[in-house]
Structure 1
Amino acid sequence: MRKTPLVPLGLAVAASLACGALTGCSSNAPRSAGARQDSAVVQPQDGSVRSASRPKGLIPGVDVSAYQSKVNWVSVKARGNRFAYVKATEGVRYVSSTFKAQYAGARKAGLDHGAYHYATPNTSSAKRQADYFLAHGGGGKADGHTLPGVLDIEDNPYGKNKCYGLSHAKMVAWIGAFLKEYHARTGRRAVINTFKDWWIDCTGNSKAFSATDRLWVNDHKATASKVPVPSAWSSYTIWQWTDKGVYGDEDYVKSATVYRKLLAS
């Protein structure tokens, strides 16, 4: 999923115009306390270009953010994708400028859709961020086409400490508070988007959520038969295959059975 550094809106727009689509260019613009985030991005650590051959037997989909300002959703659907996750919020000061159009566009084209929140645990409480996410598109009932919301939590793109300066115990508590608030407000269980090394380093390989919340793994070097997951989970639910897809990040749900359960959860 896409990280969006805290930069003033004008600088962010300029940065996004200067970068070609899906190039993963970085922004070194200065941060400010009241700044708004937009479509400038930093490249994921394991970003890579995949071959034209896509995994077989999995349920394909995409995830997008303001970085993909224009998406041809009819083409996304025609390519065989079943779902789209759209970035809604980050922290408590950013709402994606493209969320509403992308979320509605995906559904209009016949895709199932869902929203995700990029967590910044060092900027505000988990409850505030969950409530902010829900107030700006992160809700949605299990209606047969709306997927449960996602907590995207991974390397800190704004500083050298990838764990946002939190201890294992404080990080686990923060994640737990977000998931608890989301569940209390929606009745649904959020999906956790992360990757194995971060989970080990920043939560101490916590097993606190594996019994209730599904796992979305970002690993662009993995193969369908071997996707590394934190040991607390027996397997993944969603796998981000690449961050350099045709229409955005390309993802796969493990199976049709898993997809049905995810959509209904």
Structure 2
Amino acid sequence: MKRRNPLLRFGAVLFAGVAGLALCGPPAEATPSYAGADDNFAGSQIAKHEGVDGTPNVQYAAEDQVLGHDVSGHQGAVDWPSAANAGAKFVYIKATEGTGFVSPQFTQQYNGSYAVGLVRGAYHFARPDVSDGATQAGYFIAHGGGWSGDGKTLPGALDMEYNPYGDTCYGKDPGSLVAWIQSFSDTYRARTGRLPTIYTSTSWWKKCTGNTPAFGANPLWLARYNTQVGELPAGWRSQSIWQFADQGVLPGDQNWLNGPLALLRNLAIG
């Protein structure tokens, strides 16, 4: 019997292994999860992590505070005439999340609120774990998050809160997260002419950005479910909007503009 050269046999095995690696290629990156994205809305994670500790213990006259709300696909199709009759003057509506989710209710909510005379704006649920800030700003703008100077459109808002999919700060250190927010803000401003509103809570902002004061020029939409607005994140002297409750007379979360109707128009026009 003719014996095979062991060196040839080793070479054949080695070749097969290399060929297998070539066919398989490098390990594929995990596809970002958007499971439950329709239930991620402004404040959903803040209420979960920080709790709901009351509602404002002061009452404001109509000329002092303007009542508004925010909604997402979580609310379904909204009865906008009823919302307007209940006192709503403005609303923020979830448009997008990351670079892989557009709210299925966005069109009904965005166009319907405008039709009954509400000043409305869109917001983006940030996912710094899936792509850079500039990319997400572009995705947001392309899917309803733009701005126009018609006096009825608020600047788009960036929702920065606890990560519903994992690490609280999306696996980023404060410096990296501040750079991500800056990239989103700069891109949005370059594309629309407006700085985006930043939605956050003081506790999350301190923990994940190191309480950076870098965004004081952006309008602040502060979430705090308590009797007083409380401490603001560094860099802001006042909030533009206070999200003070996660339920009330209006669908979705409840908000007060920090001033009279004239301020709402100013915020819309820029």
| TM-score of the superposed pair, with normalisation by structure 2 | 0.80
- Residues 40 and 260 of structure 1: CA distance in aligned 2, closer, same or farther (over 3 Å): closer
Within 1, Cα distance between the matches of 2:135 and 2:234? 29
Once the two structures are superposed, the pairs formed by residues 212-227 of structure 1 within 5 Å of their partners are 212-223=217-228, 226-227=229-230
Within 2, Cα distance between the matches of 1:178 and 1:186? 12
Contact 1:64/1:249, CA 8 A, preserved across alignment: yes
Give the SS at the match of 1:60.
Answer: strand
* Structure 2 residue aligned with 1:3: none
* Structure 1 residue aligned with 2:252: 248
* Structure 1 residue aligned with 2:213: 207
Higher helix share: 2
Contact 2:53/2:227, CA 8 A, preserved across alignment: no
Within 2, Cα distance between the matches of 1:241 and 1:112? 19
Contact 1:222/1:228, CA 8 A, preserved across alignment: no
Contact 2:37/2:97, CA 8 A, preserved across alignment: no
Residue identity matched to 1:130: A
Give the SS at the match of 2:233.
Answer: coil
The higher-RCO structure (CA 8 Å, 6+ apart) is: 2
Q: Is residue 130 of structure 2 the alignment partner of residue 130 of structure 1? A: no
Give the SS at the match of 2:124.
Answer: strand
Once the two structures are superposed, the pairs formed by residues 145-160 of structure 1 within 5 Å of their partners are 145-159=152-166
Q: Is residue 184 of structure 2 the alignment partner of residue 178 of structure 1? A: yes
Offset at residue 164 of structure 1 (A): 0.9
Offset at residue 260 of structure 1 (A): 2.9
Contact 1:90/1:117, CA 8 A, preserved across alignment: yes
Contact 1:243/1:250, CA 8 A, preserved across alignment: yes
* Structure 2 residue aligned with 1:39: 38
Give the gaps of 5 or more residues in structure 2.
1-29
Q: Percent identity?
A: 40
Residue identity matched to 1:229: L
Within 2, Cα distance between the matches of 1:138 and 1:59? 23
* Structure 2 residue aligned with 1:264: 269
Within 2, Cα distance between the matches of 1:58 and 1:35? 36
Q: What are the Cα deviations for residues 140-182 of structure 1, in whole angstroms up to 9, with x where unaligned?
A: 21211011100000111111x2111111110110000000000
Runs of at least 4 residues off by over 4 Å: 34-38, 48-55
Offset at residue 48 of structure 1 (A): 5.9
Within 2, Cα distance between the matches of 1:186 and 1:62? 24
Within 2, Cα distance between the matches of 1:63 and 1:221? 18
Contact 2:54/2:226, CA 8 A, preserved across alignment: no
Within 1, Cα distance between the matches of 2:34 and 2:95? 17
Offset at residue 245 of structure 1 (A): 2.5
Within 1, Cα distance between the matches of 2:133 and 2:232? 24
* Structure 1 residue aligned with 2:95: 88
RMSD between aligned alpha carbons?
2.1
| One of 192, 201, 204 as aligned partner of 1:198 | 204
Once the two structures are superposed, the pairs formed by residues 91-106 of structure 1 within 5 Å of their partners are 91-106=98-113
Contact 1:47/1:244, CA 8 A, preserved across alignment: no
Offset at residue 228 of structure 1 (A): 2.4
Give the SS at the match of 1:67.
Answer: helix
Contact 2:126/2:158, CA 8 A, preserved across alignment: yes
Q: What are the Cα deviations for residues 106-162 of structure 1, in whole angstroms up to 9, with x where unaligned?
A: 011111110000001111111110000000000021211011100000111111x21
- Residues 55 and 249 of structure 1: CA distance in aligned 2, closer, same or farther (over 3 Å): farther
Choose 1 or 2 for highest CA Rg.
2
